[in-house]
Amino acid sequence: MYRVLTVASLLSLMAMVAVADDLPPAAGGAVPMSQVDRQSYTIGLSFGQQLKGDSIEINPDLLMKGLMDALKEAKPLLTEQQRRETLEALNRAMQAKAQAAAQEAAAKNAAEGRAFLAKNKAQPGVVTLPSGLQYKVLKSGTGRSPTVSDKVKVHYHGTLLDGTVFDSSVKRGEPISFGVTQVIKGWTEALQKMKVGDKWVLYIPSELAYGPRGTQGAIGPNATLVFEVELLGIE
């Protein structure tokens, strides 16, 4: 996924690189050993990796000249106004690219989610609710069901449709407690139907999860989510 490169982040990167000493490369391609050598190479490598990761087209010769001009405090080829306009144009282009990528991911995830849920509802044991939420009972408990005013204790394991794990109290080895209404809509609906001791698999359409915005982490826009949830208790 594209990251939006702001003017501030570009300037901060250049400032970070400018702290390195102006040293010649290690002879014969040897691994730099001194702290100054290592930090100089590491900063340069990190800068290059970010540029490549952000798909920024560059002229390597002019990139190096810009770095050297900054380090030597030489007169820049471009005026301050020209540099500001250049960075602003780059930022607009990166924002447009990021928006296009997000829209493409949203459409792809929405289509995959619809197809999955349409097929999944015919699977043995899967129940589809009017909201679109689907669930399958793995283990039945005998306790009471929580209400919207309750706080519950659960174990859960969350994955994307491709099996990618994005969060799991099971993997952390520690259950979590929260209010029934403090989670996504799909969870709130399911928890009120579960009994203490129940263990269900929830298949949550995006509109009952994180919707078109997704999260800052692994959950993309319009992603359908799968959770294995065990209701351990009501607090």
The residues near 14 (Cβ < 8 Å, ≥ 6 apart) are 66, 67, 70
**Total residues belonging to the chain:** 235
Cα dihedral 183/232/133/181 (nearest 10): -30
Q: What does the pLDDT average to over 112-117?
A: 98
Whole-number Å distance between alpha carbons of 162 and 70? 47
The pLDDT-based confidence of 29 (bands split at 50, 70, 90) is low
**Domain locations in the chain?**
7-77, 109-234
- Judged against a pLDDT cut of 50, whether residue 6 lies above it is answered with no
Lowest mean pLDDT among 6-10, 66-70, 130-134, 167-171: 6-10
Mean pLDDT score across all residues of the chain: 88
Q: Which residue bears the tokens 């820049």?
A: 76
Q: Which residue bears the tokens 């939420």?
A: 133
The residues near 4 (Cβ < 8 Å, ≥ 6 apart) are 91, 94, 95, 98
Q: Catalytic amino acids?
A: 156, 166-167, 184, 210, 227
- Judged against a pLDDT cut of 80, whether residue 84 lies above it is answered with yes
Q: What does the pLDDT average to over 57-73?
A: 91
Report which of residues 212 and 15 the model is more confident about.
212
Bridge-based pairing state of the strands 199-204 and 225-234? antiparallel
Q: Which residue bears the tokens 């997704």?
A: 214
- Return the H-helix or E-strand segment holding 10: helix 7-18
- Return the H-helix or E-strand segment holding 36: helix 35-53
- Judged against a pLDDT cut of 90, whether residue 201 lies above it is answered with yes
Calculate what percentage of the chain has a pLDDT beyond 70: 86
Q: Is 114:108 a contact under the CB 8 Å cutoff? A: no
pLDDT, one tens digit per residue, over 115-159 is: 999 999 999 999 999 999 999 999 999 999 999 999 999 999 999
**For the purposes of burial, counting CB atoms within 10 Å of the CB of 119, is it exposed (0-12), middle (13-18) or buried (19 or more)?**
exposed
CATH class of 109-234: alpha beta
Report the pLDDT value the prediction gives residue 16, as an integer from 0 to 100.
46
The pLDDT-based confidence of 194 (bands split at 50, 70, 90) is very high
